[in-house]
Amino acid sequence: MPAPNVSAPAALPQDAGEVLRLAAQSMFDVFAQTALGMMVVDRSHRIVWISEGYKHFLPALGFEREEDFVGKPVEQVVPNTLMNRVIDSGRPIVLDLLTNKAGTFLVSRLPLRDESGQVLGAVGMVWLNESPDHTQSTMQPLMAKFSRMQKELDDARRELAAQRRPKYTIASFIGASPAVMEVKRQARRVAGTDSTVLLLGETGTGKELMAQGIHAGGHRAAAPFVGVNIAAVPETLLEAEFFGVAPGAYTGADRKGRHGKFKLADGGTLFLDEIGDMPLGLQAKLLRVLQEQEVEPLGSNRVERVDVRIIAATSRDLAAMVAEGAFRADLYYRLNVLPIRLPPLRERLGDLDALADHLLEDIACRAGLAAPKSLAADALELLAAQRWPGNIRELRNVLEQACLLSDELVLTAGPLAGLLVAPVTPGTEEAAAEAPMRPPAGPPAAPLAEPGAIKPLPVAVAELEARAIRAALDATKGNKLAAARMLGIARATLYEKLGHIG
């Protein structure tokens, strides 16, 4: 015998229709009495009735009186509810676990229909919570497992959030020279905004530290700070790294998909280090994300909204790259909203003493030394005479070597002198970029110094490089690409060195 059509009782004999009506009423009464709580929501998602049992949950949900709760849209007063989805889709959710600030519950959600079959609302029932009073229930093991997994997930999220919090503030940028004080003033001013910041400076000047400081000084400080070094990610993986991967987007892809850096930084700050190394093809996609605040994961047709503050950094001359066609002009203008130039170490030698003390303390802590070492006056004078092309990163390297190689608590100029010039063995283009460049064929190079005058080797090398670069540019009539090839270095390296020689 086929099942009766409860959505059209008029087609049944009068006594059968009455039975169905009474059955529905009886089931409703039984559910209201046996469930821990029960509510009815109309087609507009507004709560129209709650049972006596449900009233016990109101304080945990932040309500003291029933009249403050009933009549409100259910999604506004019951966090994580799916009652609105049941009403909109007309599909029941027979059994589900709901977690919100009131606890974790086993619930059912059923659509309510009129005689024509149209959804007129929904009824929700709370069957079980994680209270010890329900330990005898057959569903309690499931509830306990869910609660345990939820706790582990919450702990993992908190740990991940702690890892993505900034380690530095603007005050962590050591120095009190006029150049540094101006940088700090600008950083504090932009920290309170959501505008894009472009940090300019040579390698090793502390761009990432300043980016973290700007993030920590703004209203997004409690949200994630996510950094990505574009130069360190293979070009073929950059798109997936930025925008994420949809489940099964390609062979070998994670079945669950993977979030990109934009999604991980949602609500916080994304730091794009070495933005000048971004391939032209990806620059257009990055520009769209910056303008629309939307990302489309690789292999997906779904667009996801993100709320991300961008801080970019580069040691390149982006304006020159735009002129050469190596960087998109529209992206440059989108990034260059609030530019901040971080001075190289040679322009802030007045901070050298404070920087050295801070670095020596950190080196002692990380290396497990009994006490931090200090610098003698002659050592500080020797360090102040250097050009420091690697800036603070190079200074730290020299000090760390000296600390580990010397048993003295006070470092003098002697142990430091042999560490200031590190030989580089050519063999790759990257090594050649750091090695002294050979001048192109043509007129012989000028002598390193006037007869009888001996300059420090880094100064002499820098002067030789400058002369070689100028000669190559003269020979190629200013064509930087041809000049870089003549010198045997990458065009990016040429741009960097041009920034050093002015």
| Residue 46 DSSP one-character state | B
φ, ψ dihedrals at 341, nearest 5°:
-95, 125
Residues 186 and 309 in one domain: yes
The whole-angstrom separation of Cα 434 and Cα 494 is 11
Query: For residue 355, what is the domain's CATH number?
Result: 1.10.8.60
Residue 115: partners with Cβ closer than 8 Å, 6 or more residues away = 7, 8, 9, 10
Residues 256 and 331 in one domain: yes
Residue 303 included in any domain? yes
Q: What is the pLDDT of residue 122?
A: 93
Residues 401 and 438 in one domain: no
Which of 341, 366, 381 is where one domain is finished?
341
Residues 186 and 286 in one domain: yes
Residues 382 and 493 in one domain: no
Residues 180 and 132 in one domain: no
**Are 197 and 214 a contacting pair, CB within 8 Å?**
yes
For the chain, what is the domain count? 4
Residue 337 included in any domain? yes
Residues 215 and 334 in one domain: yes
pLDDT in tens, the chain (502 residues): 344 444 444 555 557 767 777 877 777 887 777 788 999 999 999 999 999 889 988 998 889 899 889 999 999 899 889 999 999 999 999 888 888 877 788 889 999 988 888 999 999 999 877 655 544 455 566 666 666 776 776 666 566 655 556 788 999 999 999 999 999 999 999 999 999 999 999 999 999 999 999 999 999 998 899 999 998 888 888 888 888 888 765 555 555 678 889 999 999 999 999 999 999 889 998 998 999 889 888 888 788 899 999 999 999 999 999 999 999 999 999 999 999 999 999 999 999 999 999 999 999 998 888 889 999 999 999 999 999 999 999 999 999 999 988 888 999 998 888 888 543 333 433 443 343 433 333 444 444 444 445 666 667 777 788 888 888 888 877 778 777 777 877 777 777 777 767 5
Residues 146 and 181 in one domain: no
pTM of the predicted model over 0.85:
no
Residues 202 and 329 in one domain: yes
Residue 409 included in any domain? yes
Residues 289 and 317 in one domain: yes
Residues 247 and 190 in one domain: yes
At position 35, the amino acid (one-letter code) is A
**Where in the sequence is the domain holding 127, given as residue range(s)?**
35-151
Residue 268 included in any domain? yes
Residues 174 and 113 in one domain: no
Other C-beta atoms lying within 10 Å of the C-beta of residue 34: 11
Residue 311 included in any domain? yes
- Distances in Å between the Cα of 224 and the Cα atoms of 151, 215, 270, 397, 486 are 21, 9, 8, 30, 45
Residue 162 included in any domain? no
Residue 7 included in any domain? no
Which of 314, 341, 368 is where one domain is finished?
341
Q: What is the pLDDT of residue 484?
A: 76
φ, ψ dihedrals at 46, nearest 5°:
-90, 140
DSSP 267-325: TSEEEEETGGGS-HHHHHHHHHHHHH-EE--BT----EE---EEEEEESS-HHHHHHHT
212-233 in b/e form (b: 16+ CB < 10 A) is bbbbbbbebbebbbbbbebeeb
C-alpha torsion sign, points 485, 487, 492, 494: negative
Q: Which helix (H) or strand (E) holds 465?
A: helix 457-475
Per-residue H/E/C for 141-203: HHHHHHHHHHHHHHHHHHHHHHHCCCCCCHHHCCCCCHHHHHHHHHHHHHHCCCCCEEEECCC
What token pair was written down for 172? 């962590």
Query: For residue 144, what is the domain's CATH number?
Result: 3.30.450.20
